[in-house]
Amino acid sequence: MDVSALQKARYNYKPKLPAILSGSIEDITVEFGDPTEAISDREELRDIFKNTYGKPFATFVKGKHDQIKRELKVGVILSGGQAPGGHNVIAGLFDGMKKGNPNSTLYGFKAGPSGLIDNKTVVLTQEKIDEYRNTGGFDIIGSGRTKIETPQQFASSLETAKKLSLDAVVVIGGDDSNTNAALLAEYFLANGSTTQVIGCPKTIDGDLKNEHIETSFGFDTACKTYSELIGNLCRDTNSAKKYWHFIKLMGRAASHIALECAFQTQPNICLISEEVEAQAHSLNQIVDQICASIALRAKNGDNFGVVLVPEGLVEFIPEIKKLIDELNDAIAAEEKSFAEVTNFIDQLYWLSSRISEPSYRVMQSLPPDIAQQFLMDRDPHGNVQVSRIETEKLLVGMVEKRLAVMKGENKYSGKFSALSHFFGYEGRCAFPSNFDSDYCYSLGFSAFVLIMAGLTGYLSSVRNLIAPADKWIAGGVPLTMMMNLEQRHGSKKPVIKKALVELNDKPFKTFVEKRDLWAEKTCFLFPGAIQYFGPPEVCDQPTITLKLEY
């Protein structure tokens, strides 16, 4: 197989491990902390998770463990969207298992959770693992978004575990996938199965974290990849001095990516969805904010700049959020009737009697090409596919109109030319940074130790991540402690709560201190490409957000 020079070099990279995991595995044991409680809805969740609720924190320490070298059969699942480093989680798990016992077997479930349901597997060999070390993507076994939620799906998953005599299943995924892992762990125990379930925290959006899960894997690489592209555009617009670049970035539920990329590149404007919601900013107020920066810079002769827009921004703008909620409800209630209406004008008429008058006015105020995006095919939950709404283009259009009015009022005399971009898939399968390569490998190895300790319903945890890797602290966190109940499909369901940008925490406050200067002056930073070889201060650094938080 032909490979690039970088790919060949990355195969040979040796990920760094926490000190406790880098020595003899016979010297690793588990120390337990206090029992845990869920974030909220504790009584209800205790009732749902009768066998797995309230487990203690687990930390790996030096000591003897008589089961550490037993032969294992483990299945691994890649679930949900891709994130850089997934292959290294599998490599860390594989290497740990083989270090414990060379006869251990690792099965890869093909195409996500459906592979477990349908018993579609591939045995992962040393040769196969070596082809994917330190590389991006999930193509070693493929991923999928199937949810294990029906009684039949749970029963089929248990049947697969029995047929393969699995000691454990490792689920590599985000908040929804690891909620599924928690439910699977509970189901197995409730039905007398000894198959353990361990999760690993994945999502480039950065919204699966807490004090014990400092970051989700892939976030570091994705932000560095996007920041390289943003930095390139900053350099380009500072050279041509004639374009405003409006850049939408991944992050539907939270603005962590936009905030981190802002720290790395210092754009003129970075919108933070959580702030928009907290201050109930209207779409017009957001446009005013952008236009204020454009006018201010124009006075200095700077008719160029960069604006960062989180993917999920529209869902945080009060009048748009209300419109989306009403659209979701109206279309879900009469799905077949709506499907028969294919013309946009007819769709508007269909909606006129089914959503409120204020929401209908908002719908009519949107440019027709943008408004139609609110009515596209729904996602698997029956909701608007927010990622397909071209918020960056909506803002460009509204800014153009507002600037024309301001020009007529002698409040603006500059020139405005805009280009729009969406950076999303470009970051999901990048070669993982050294940080993500090390972190993911450590998560996978930790998953092995959690299995050997006989634990189930845990999320692999590696902490103290701003320190060098040998100072990292490895262990596990009970999945139920991150849960609350949320309304899904008309009823309350247990869900791992997403971690949003906290407006009172140091990262956001640091951003607020700097953004007025960025809005007026040209302060761009140019981070360049991810570096894999060189001094640690260049190659091994975590995100700025993580440094500020810890």
DSSP string, 445-480: HHHHHHHHTT--SEEEEEE-TTS-GGG-EEEEEEGG
Enter the DSSP assignment of 79: B
For 252-293, what is each residue's pLDDT tens digit?
899 999 999 999 999 999 999 999 999 999 999 999 999 999
- Mean pLDDT over the full length of the chain: 95
Kindly tell me if the per-residue pLDDT of 154 is higher than 90.
Answer: yes
What is the predicted pLDDT for the residue at 346? 94
Reported as a pLDDT band with limits 50, 70 and 90, residue 67 is confident
Element (H, E) at 303: none
For 196-211, what is each residue's pLDDT tens digit?
999 999 999 999 999 8
Alpha-helical (H) ranges within 27-74 are 42-48
- Structural domains present in the chain: 5-61+68-218+432-496 (3.40.50.450), 223-424+505-537 (3.40.50.460)
- pTM score: 0.96
Secondary structure (3-state) at 17: coil
What is the predicted pLDDT for the residue at 57? 97
Site of tokens 């640690």: 536
Kindly state the percentage of the chain with pLDDT values over 90. 92
Secondary structure (3-state) at 282: coil
Reported as a pLDDT band with limits 50, 70 and 90, residue 1 is low
Q: What is the CB neighbour count within 10 angstroms for residue 426?
A: 15
Question: Could you tell me how many residues make up the chain?
Answer: 550
For 505-516, what is each residue's pLDDT tens digit?
999 999 999 999
What is the predicted pLDDT for the residue at 372? 93
C-alpha closest to that of 65 among 103, 106, 105, 20: 20
User: Which has the minimum average pLDDT: 30-39, 334-343, 489-498?
Assistant: 489-498
Give the whole-angstrom CA distance, residue 103 versus residue 98.
Answer: 7
Tell me which of 205, 207, 302, 438 is the catalytic residue. Answer: 205
> What is the rounded radius of gyration, in angstroms, for the C-alpha atoms of the chain?
25
Site of tokens 């490998």: 441
Give percent helix, percent strand, percent coil of the chain, each to the nearest 5.
Answer: 45, 15, 35
Looking at this protein, which amino acid is placed at residue 106? L
Torsion of CA 489, 275, 81, 426, to 10 degrees: 150
Is 470 catalytic? The answer is no
The dihedral region occupied by 281, where left means phi > 0, alpha psi between -120 and 50, and beta the remainder, is beta
What is the predicted pLDDT for the residue at 378? 76
Supply 10's token pair: 């990355």
